[in-house]
Amino acid sequence: MRLHILGICGTFMGSLAQLAKQLGHQVSGSDAGVYPPMSDQLQAAGIALTEGFDPAGIPADTELVIIGNAMSRGNPSVEYVLDRGIPYMSGPQWLGQEVLNGRWVLAAAGTHGKTTTSSMLAWILEYAGMKPGFLIGGVPQNFAVSARLGESPFFVIEADEYDTAFFDKRSKFVHYRPRTLIMNNLEFDHADIFPDLAAIERQFHHLVRTVPASGQIILPQGEAALERVLTMGCWTPVVRFGQQTDCDWQWQTGSDDMSVFTIRSREQDFAVTVNWQLSGLHNIRNAVAAMLAARHVGVAPGVAAEALSEFASVKRRMELVGEAGGIRIYDDFAHHPTAIATTLEGARASLLQGSAAGRILAVLEPRSNTMKLGVHKAELAHSVSAADQVFWFQPENIDWSLAEVAAAGSVPAASFTDHEQLIAAVVAALQPGDQVIVMSNGSFAGMPRRLLAALQQAPEI
């Protein structure tokens, strides 16, 4: 079939395009912003890309248009499809019908950690020889691609609660029908489509309703919002994990930076220790959830622990971009205050574990739709308290002041509206041994690599 995808360079739609290509479809697509890593993957897969939404970019022989959730009425390509009666469908609906139907779906949902958890889970299954399919909203470095069909009944998917399309306002994940469901956490986000946390909880309950009684739901102990979701009705066995002794599965840390941890079952007299490259409590929670989901499809915790020791994380999740003059530059996707805080706290724990003398400098671009509305403005100053110095960038589409956020924080901070001025200020502040963590859920004008290039050219470094 001849498919054209509108909004193809988003992480979900780009991954879907690769699956469609692997199924033998002719695939093309268009988007307003084309940038790596997704553009690189699509070009490598032989998928033709058109910049912009001129209807001329839709091939005349297109049989189905798959419309991304970033598209809205008034978009020239959308109006063209509607006016001419070209068949169209949302990405999640197409995925559910054409890829997930009849497969054992393992889904990772939650406000934070979906990409990392689903990447861990896919890698554990791969390590165990199960050759799973997967679709992940990032690029797991163990695979180098964000999606593949796989060679077994098992399919791992990052289950996003964002809406499906302009014509389907349900959350994406209601189309996936998982048999194994991880719900890692639940906080208020996506203020552009959800009025409050209760509205998101209702969508999560729609997801719970799709899990069969023969399936399994995995969640951390003591997450109030998730427990409220379950009280709306649950027909599936639930497994809880945490540090509490009454959990089904308990985990304990074995090092200050959380690079060693142990999990044990309340009902079975054995323990498994994981020694890996990652750090931070948030990553332990992600890992335990992935281990338990893998266990549900037959992977022993000991095998999962071996797999995690070789887990190479995900691009743009504390990804080391480069080093110069003893200074390291990292790229991270964190954009919600909780994710920002846990990322910086993990980096701080890692520094302390190594008795390093360096500092943590955070460079942030708040740009999500929720940030545009100022919903988390009051939490931002506190979210960076684990850093030693903070540099905020004020995007043009945010009409509230990041200078006020900088002034309200407990650590030295400044805000900028010009990329070059920001780069100059960061480089001027750097000292050998420092770590620079660049955080944004967009391209940030290539900021991590631009900082590295400026650092390499600085005569004093």
pLDDT value of position 403: 84
Whether 262 is covered by a domain: the verdict is: yes
Choose the final residue of a domain: 48, 65, 92. 92
Structure tokens at 277: 């490259």
Residues 134, 180 within the same domain? yes
Residues 420, 376 within the same domain? yes
Residues 301, 403 within the same domain? no
pLDDT value of position 454: 87
pTM of the model: 0.78
Whether 347 is covered by a domain: the verdict is: yes
pLDDT lower than 70: segments of the chain: 34-37, 257, 314-315, 351-357, 369-376, 459-461
pLDDT value of position 307: 94
Residues 414, 447 within the same domain? yes
In contact, 12 and 93? CB cutoff 8 Å: no
Partners of residue 135 on adjacent β-strands? 147, 157
Residues 233, 296 within the same domain? yes
CATH number of residue 222's parent domain: 3.40.1190.10
Choose the final residue of a domain: 308, 336, 360. 308
pLDDT value of position 418: 92
Task: Spell out the residues 6+ positions from residue 168 whose beta carbon is closer than 8 angstroms to its own.
Answer: 90, 93
Choose the final residue of a domain: 58, 92, 126. 92
Residues 423, 281 within the same domain? no
Structure tokens at 346: 């993990």
Whether 154 is covered by a domain: the verdict is: yes
Residues 276, 234 within the same domain? yes
Give the chain's mean pLDDT: 89
CA distance linking residue 354 with residue 189, whole number of Å:
35
Residues 297, 324 within the same domain? no
CA distance linking residue 127 with residue 148, whole number of Å:
16
CATH number of residue 69's parent domain: 3.40.50.720
Whether 183 is covered by a domain: the verdict is: yes
pLDDT value of position 355: 46
Whether 282 is covered by a domain: the verdict is: yes
Residues 73, 117 within the same domain? no
Residues 28, 69 within the same domain? yes
The range of the structural domain enclosing residue 354 comes to 319-457
Whether 97 is covered by a domain: the verdict is: no
Residues 143, 176 within the same domain? yes
Domain count, the chain: 3
